[in-house]
């Protein structure tokens, strides 16, 4: 079947009915803009290819007509015009096809479909003419708005274009900077910049490197060569640019450029990864030229002034599935995060001495605002920290946060407050997933996880590839991460329902329970998937042995302010667990036990991936999510069989258990405990739980910032763990029925609207439907924090 033809694209690539036998460069009429109907018609060049069946041509024509109508309804007249023309052109080949006579005699389904299409031909012709008239009026209006030139125009003297497939840095500089001409009207003289050729630069380096800086002075786009497979089609290349709408538009208009220049880091020849991109561009209808020496040569010859940083783009609300960057609850960071090519070493775990003193060299540089972190080699680090007169060996440090591995950012001028970027502002695309029998638990979970934009963007950009830990015996050597990344790519294309066979095959190899047709719990599947992704992407290549606290260290934890103790324990945890999953989903709970006999206190800090909240019992009506939270953190008396073994009394004692939050994650997952055992039977709590969709404020559940002078010397508060802690809902996992025979669906938020995802069916949903007794898992995204000068 034919795919849609994007605005500015040439005819369909080979492999599609109506494609040209050999892609050729489209020559545009320079008397008109690329969006003028004259040039849009030039992009429609289908040719009859008898290797495709006549049935394929009929189907392709019908599909093109439907897509033309879709673009027409959306107001995208350029794309509608091109698709109407393509539909008519492809349909015209049907009577010329060698199979036509046989099909006409048989009068079967294909013939009937063609007859139906012919009945719509007058409609196609009429609408195409109407659109062409509108486009002409638009172009004339734009031409009238152009200001008159200030002086005589310089004659268009293009630099000589390269005749072979390569050019040097000096030649590219000449193309981008053609110089000036002196012109005169007999009285005055002007220096007029020569009209150089139009250049499209194709950066085939990874998008992470592209974001750090690329060749400036011309339109540029990034086609990561590692993501371009052999025999990649024009459509495959376009899909790689779905995350960058401006680049996508440039690729669609590639035929309007005089030169298309490809480069990588060194560009030593049309070989390897570069050859795949080079060949794919040729198949897309352009003749690319290789920049000899690549980006390194350009930077060496031209210098930093010739390097530009790609601009942040505003996504289009079209079907291109632009991936919005996840708003961090701290000061905005560069668009990408970059895993290191070598394992990094973070600051040491810090336990202050009993006197509160601390040597400056033990203070992690990452705790000083405005300074880039420095990670000395692990071999040369003194890991002995002082506790009074004793010395304790701490575990070797691990890598820094997966979202913090970024180059230092220069200070920027900004307003006192960052713009509020909430869950309702995010753009998410979804398409249906086929059910394997009872795999709705999997489908609903995957839809909500895909709507977690920060993680999806991490997978779509290919950043996960540089974090895969093949040495971790607890992981799958990257197989699960790769399968999930491929799944996210297909979901974000939004091209229609599909069956996630590859993903299911990989995850069921690790957990065969997910292969069968039995119903499973969505929460258990989610936790297993996140744990598996964490192990695949854990940056700690060799986990140090678990580090047990001594009595002296435990006393420091017990007596320190919770903000300080939390930071110490979080650093200790990160020496073993450090991945994008930890950065995104994991928080920390503070569990304090107090003996009611001797008053001994013991405090532990534990991480969590999700909160499992009890639903308070009510005879009728509903309960609020805040009531569920209060039931989760209320003080609990531990007595009888649950009595705490007091380390001072050396026996079980009646005690008070206090559970509080110490750290909240960017993405907060809340499961409602709807299932419980009543004898041998599993029962479901059907109480309706009310909740805020926006501005869910958890600030009162977190310890407040320490007042000035209250913290011990050397302590610098976390830039993420500061108020306010306000969240917006962006996803809901629903459960209908009972545990064994129920059904799961998902609701995800995109651009202020809610979509219902029920296996293959994707449709709009009202907010009122979210507040029902089917509520099972809530997906919250933290709002960005205020940013001050």
Q: Rounded to whole angstroms, how far apart are CA atoms 589 and 661? A: 5
CA atoms of 311 and 169, how far apart (whole Å): 23
**How far is it, in rounded angstroms, from Cα 51 to Cα 319?**
31
Contact indicator for 787, 420 with CB cutoff of 8 Å: no
**Residues annotated as part of the active site:** 440, 743
What is the rounded distance in angstroms from the CA atom of residue 403 to the CA atom of residue 416?
A: 24
Handedness of CA 381, 387, 391, 393 (dihedral sign): negative
Closest by alpha carbon to 203, among 161, 252, 266?
266
d(Cα 374, Cα 190) in Å, to the nearest integer? 53
Structure tokens at 565: 């103790």
Token code pair at residue 382:
């003194």
Buried b (16+ CB within 10 A) or exposed e, 660-676: ebbbbbbbbbbbbebee
Can you tell me whether residue 189 is helix, strand or coil?
Answer: strand
Task: Give helix then strand counts, H and E, for the chain.
Answer: 21, 29
- 531 token code pair: 């744990």
Tokens of 139: 């172009």
DSSP conformation class of 37: H
Q: Which residue(s) pair with 106 in the sheet?
A: none
Respond yes or no on whether the N-terminal peptide bond of residue 517 is cis (omega within 30° of 0): no
Task: Please choose, from the candidates 522, 586, 601, the residue with its C-alpha nearest in 3D space to the C-alpha of residue 554.
Answer: 601
| SS3 call for 529 | helix
Contact 301, 175 (CB under 8 A): no
- Report how far apart the first and last C-alpha atoms of the chain are (Å, whole number): 55
Helical segments of 100-186, H only: 100-106, 109-119, 121-145, 169-176
> Quick one: tokens of 729?
């809902």
Q: Each residue of 455-468: b (16+ CB within 10 Å) or e?
A: bbbbbbbbbbbebb
Using an 8 Å Cβ cutoff, are 406 and 711 in contact?
no
Pairing of strands 761-765, 753-758: antiparallel
- ∠ CA 784-537-396, rounded to 5°: 95
Tokens found for residue 494? 């939004």
All residues at 6 or more sequence positions from 664 whose CB lies less than 8 Å from its CB, including other chains? 587, 698, 702, 721, 725, 782
Q: Which two tokens stand for residue 660?
A: 């509080």
Torsion of CA 366, 369, 370, 371, to 10 degrees: -30
Structure tokens at 349: 């775990």
Asked whether the beta carbons of 603 and 590 are under 8 A apart, the reply is yes
**In Å, what is the CA distance from 744 to each residue of 325, 432, 460, 529, 686?**
28, 14, 26, 17, 15
Q: At what angle do helices 501-510 and 522-537 cross, to 10 degrees?
A: 80
Largest CA-CA distance found in the chain, in angstroms, rounded: 107
Strands 259-263 and 214-215, by their bridges, are unpaired
Cα atoms in the 13 Å half-sphere on the side-chain side of 14 = 14
d(CA 347, CA 363): 8
């Amino acid at each position: 079947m034919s795919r849609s033809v994007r605005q500015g694209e040439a005819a369909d690539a080979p492999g599609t009915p109506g494609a040209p036998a050999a892609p050729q460069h489209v020559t545009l009429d320079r008397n008109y803009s690329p969006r003028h109907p004259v040039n849009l018609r030039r992009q429609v060049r289908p040719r009859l290819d008898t290797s495709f069946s006549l049935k394929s041509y009929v189907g392709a024509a019908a599909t093109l007509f439907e897509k033309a109508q879709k673009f027409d309804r959306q107001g995208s007249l350029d794309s509608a015009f091109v698709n109407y023309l393509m539909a008519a052109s492809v349909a015209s080949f049907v009577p010329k096809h060698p199979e036509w006579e046989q099909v006409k005699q048989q009068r079967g389904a294909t013939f009937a479909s063609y007859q139906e299409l012919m009945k719509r031909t007058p409609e196609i012709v009429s609408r195409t003419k109407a659109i062409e008239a509108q486009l002409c009026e638009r172009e004339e209006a734009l031409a009238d708005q152009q200001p008159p030139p200030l002086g005589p125009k310089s004659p268009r003297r293009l630099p000589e274009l390269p005749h072979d497939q390569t050019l040097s840095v000096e030649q590219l500089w000449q193309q981008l900077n053609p110089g000036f001409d002196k012109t005169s009207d007999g009285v005055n003289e002007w220096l007029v910049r020569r009209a150089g050729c139009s250049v499209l630069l194709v950066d085939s380096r990874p998008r992470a490197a592209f974001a750090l800086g690329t060749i400036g002075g011309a339109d540029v786009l990034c086609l990561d060569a590692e993501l371009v497979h052999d025999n990649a089609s024009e459509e495959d290349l376009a899909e790689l640019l779905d995350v960058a709408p401006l680049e996508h538009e440039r690729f669609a208009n590639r035929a309007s450029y005089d030169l298309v220049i490809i480069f990588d880091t060194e560009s030593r020849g049309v070989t390897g990864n570069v050859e795949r991109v080079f060949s794919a561009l040729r198949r897309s209808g352009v003749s690319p030229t290789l920049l000899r020496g690549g980006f390194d040569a350009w930077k060496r010859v031209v210098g930093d002034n010739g390097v530009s940083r790609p601009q942040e783009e505003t996504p289009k609300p079209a079907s291109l599935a632009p991936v919005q960057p996840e708003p961090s609850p701290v000061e905005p960071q560069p668009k990408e995060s970059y895993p290191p090519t070598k394992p990094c070493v973070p600051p040491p775990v810090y336990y202050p001495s009993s006197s509160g003193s601390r040597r400056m060299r033990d203070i992690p540089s990452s705790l000083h605002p405005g300074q880039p972190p420095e990670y000395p080699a692990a071999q040369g680090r003194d890991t002995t920290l002082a506790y009074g007169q004793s010395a304790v060996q701490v575990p070797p440090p691990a890598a820094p946060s997966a979202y913090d591995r970024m180059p230092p950012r220069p200070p920027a001028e900004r307003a006192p407050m960052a713009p509020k970027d909430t869950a309702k502002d995010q753009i998410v695309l979804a398409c249906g997933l086929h059910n394997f029998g009872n795999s709705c638990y999997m489908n609903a979970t995957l839809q909500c996880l895909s709507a977690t934009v920060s993680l999806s963007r991490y997978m779509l950009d290919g950043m996960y590839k540089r974090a895969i830990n093949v040495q971790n015996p607890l992981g799958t050597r990257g197989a699960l991460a790769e399968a999930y990344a491929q799944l996210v790519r297909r979901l974000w294309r939004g091209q229609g329902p599909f069956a996630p066979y590859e993903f299911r095959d990989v995850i069921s190899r690790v957990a065969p329970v997910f292969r069968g047709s039995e119903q499973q719990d969505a929460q258990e599947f989610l936790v297993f998937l996140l744990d598996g992704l964490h192990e695949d992407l854990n940056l700690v290549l060799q986990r140090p042995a678990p580090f047990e606290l001594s009595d002296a260290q435990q006393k420091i934890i017990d007596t320190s302010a919770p903000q300080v103790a939390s930071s110490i324990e979080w650093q200790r945890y990160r020496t073993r667990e450090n991945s994008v999953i930890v950065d995104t989903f994991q928080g920390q709970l503070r569990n304090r036990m107090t003996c009611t006999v001797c008053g001994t206190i013991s405090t532990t800090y534990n991480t969590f991936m999700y909160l499992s909240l009890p639903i308070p019992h009510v005879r009728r009506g509903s309960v609020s999510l805040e009531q569920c939270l209060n039931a989760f953190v209320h003080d609990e008396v531990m007595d009888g069989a649950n009595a705490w073994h007091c380390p001072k009394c050396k026996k079980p004692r009646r005690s008070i258990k206090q559970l509080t939050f110490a750290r909240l994650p960017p993405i907060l997952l809340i499961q409602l405990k709807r299932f419980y055992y009543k004898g041998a039977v599993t029962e479901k709590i059907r109480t309706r739980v009310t909740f805020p969709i926006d501005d869910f404020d958890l600030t009162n559940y977190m310890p407040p910032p320490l007042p000035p002078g209250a913290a011990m010397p050397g302590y610098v508060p976390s830039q993420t763990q500061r108020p306010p802690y306000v969240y917006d809902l962006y996803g809901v996992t629903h459960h209908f029925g009972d545990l064994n025979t129920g059904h799961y669906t998902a609701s995800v938020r995109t651009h202020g609207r809610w979509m219902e995802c029920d296996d293959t069916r994707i449709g709009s949903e009202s907010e009122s439907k979210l507040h029902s007794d089917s509520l099972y898992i809530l997906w919250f995204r933290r709002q960005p924090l205020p940013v001050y000068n």
